[in-house]
Structure 1
Amino acid sequence: MITTIIFDLGAVLIDWNPRYMYRTIFEDEAEMEKFLAEITTSDWNEEQDAGRTLHEGTEILIQQFPEHEHHIRAFYGRWDEMLGEAFHETVEIFRQLKESGKYKIYALTNWSAETFPVAFERFEFLKWFDGIVVSGEEKIRKPTPEFYHILLDRYNVKPREALFIDDNYRNILAAEKIGINCIHFTSAEQLEVELKRLSVF
């Protein structure tokens, strides 16, 4: 029986994409993609999600790629421009689950402690959660098992009674190993189908 629902945020409820900002800097799309793939990489960004300061992360890259200093500093200097809109169809599912009164609903997110407050102020629905566990604040991130256990222990959640929703299959596999029920998110339509299949929605 599911009593608790745990949402990922980025790419599930919130649209975040560095291209929104970098397209205002780069005139050539291929050059931008090369920069994102080779310099401001996902692995680098995840270190900030895991608690490294934005300043330290930025300075490390500038030391490695001094010729790209201006573009590197823009990543966090103009980070708010990377934050897109909410995925309204998914937010509507969240709203209906919340209003049903049947579930405790939490968020478990890989997000820098320094940038998360920007999103928290921008998106009112983030205040609907019964609790949010932010990797940058805990200095540990998905898919590390201990990060999931922080939420489970803090809110007294039994894994077999929890349902975790995330777009990243790596994170889904880690949650399943702990015994958490999971939905690998691909779209709001698919999520609704899966929730109904599980008799949650």
Structure 2
Amino acid sequence: MIKVVVFDLDYVLVKENCLFSELFENEYKVPHEEFYDVMKSSKMLERTKKNGSNFNIFHNLLEKYKIKISEKNFFDLWLNNFKTKKDVVDLAISLKKNYKIAVISDNFLEKTEFFRKKVRWFRNFNYSLFSSDVGYTKKSPKMFLKLIGDLKIKPEEAVFIDDNEKNINVAGSVGMNGIVFDNIDQLKKELKMANVKFQS
């Protein structure tokens, strides 16, 4: 029996208006490939609070292109660059009548703090776990084992919804059910197949 419905954040509950590396290129003429390379080489998604602000990892890139921007303005630009997928969020909140709802996501520290503190609908979720909380990503089964342990459930009592099939496969490797997200109608259909009850 399903007890917890777990959602990925990006491209399931929210969607960026455009990739931030591309937005930053449009605003400041920094090639988006270089911006992305800094993120990747620094393992930004795995940096935790003890590593300090992620603004610091872009210092050399900003200097190279002579960009003067405050840390606040940098992250304001980044963190407000999204749209809520209201149909999915509404569905998630409706599930709370019968299930715990959770978020598990690969995301950097400043974004996780933004969602936890500033995004009102996010407070409806019973539990959230981000890569920046633990120092590893959904590529590792440890991410899903931690969620299972924290929520004190059996793996088969959770269904995980993600737009990336590779992440679904990792969750499946520890015994969780999974749904590869495409759109709201497909999601509702597959939740019904998993015997997850909700109002249509």
TM range (shorter): 0.7 to 0.9
Q: Which of the numbers 88, 91, 96 marks the counterpart of 1:90?
A: 88
Distance in 2 (alpha carbons) for counterparts of 1:151 and 1:161: 12
1:20: Cα distance to partner? 7.5
CA contact (8 A) 2:25 2:32 kept: no
Equivalences for 1:19-34 in 2 at 5 Å?
Answer: 21-22=23-24, 24-25=26-27
CA contact (8 A) 1:133 1:151 kept: yes
Secondary structure at the counterpart of residue 96 of structure 2:
helix
Q: Find out whether 1:106 has 2:102 as its counterpart.
A: yes
Partner of 2:190: 194
1:41: Cα distance to partner? 4.4
Gaps of 5+ in 2: none
Q: Which of the numbers 133, 137, 143 marks the counterpart of 2:133?
A: 137
Secondary structure at the counterpart of residue 27 of structure 2:
coil
Q: Find out whether 1:47 has 2:43 as its counterpart.
A: yes
- The normalised TM-score by structure 2 is 0.80
Letter in 2 for 1:21: L
CA contact (8 A) 1:168 1:184 kept: yes
Distance in 2 (alpha carbons) for counterparts of 1:9 and 1:94: 12
**CA gap 1:146/1:56 in 2 versus in 1, 3 angstroms:** farther
Q: Find out whether 1:176 has 2:172 as its counterpart.
A: yes
Query: May I ask how many residue pairs the two structures share in their alignment?
Result: 189
Q: Find out whether 1:14 has 2:14 as its counterpart.
A: yes
Secondary structure at the counterpart of residue 136 of structure 1:
helix
Distance in 2 (alpha carbons) for counterparts of 1:25 and 1:167: 29
Secondary structure at the counterpart of residue 138 of structure 2:
coil
1:135: Cα distance to partner? 1.3
Q: Judge which range, 104-113 or 65-74, deviates more.
A: 65-74
CA-based RMSD = 2.9
**CA gap 1:19/1:87 in 2 versus in 1, 3 angstroms:** farther
**Structure 1 residues 50-106: Cα deviation after superposition (integer angstroms, max 9, x where no partner):** 1154034323x62xx964463998864632242x1210110121122113x2x1211
CA contact (8 A) 2:24 2:32 kept: no
Secondary structure at the counterpart of residue 160 of structure 2:
strand
1:21: Cα distance to partner? 3.5
Distance in 2 (alpha carbons) for counterparts of 1:157 and 1:49: 26
1:190: Cα distance to partner? 1.2
**CA gap 1:174/1:151 in 2 versus in 1, 3 angstroms:** same
Secondary structure at the counterpart of residue 171 of structure 2:
helix
Identity %: 24
Distance in 2 (alpha carbons) for counterparts of 1:11 and 1:156: 27
- The normalised TM-score by structure 1 is 0.79
Letter in 1 for 2:4: T
Distance in 2 (alpha carbons) for counterparts of 1:143 and 1:45: 17
Distance in 1 (alpha carbons) for counterparts of 2:42 and 2:5: 24
Large movers: runs of 4+ above 4 Å? 71-77
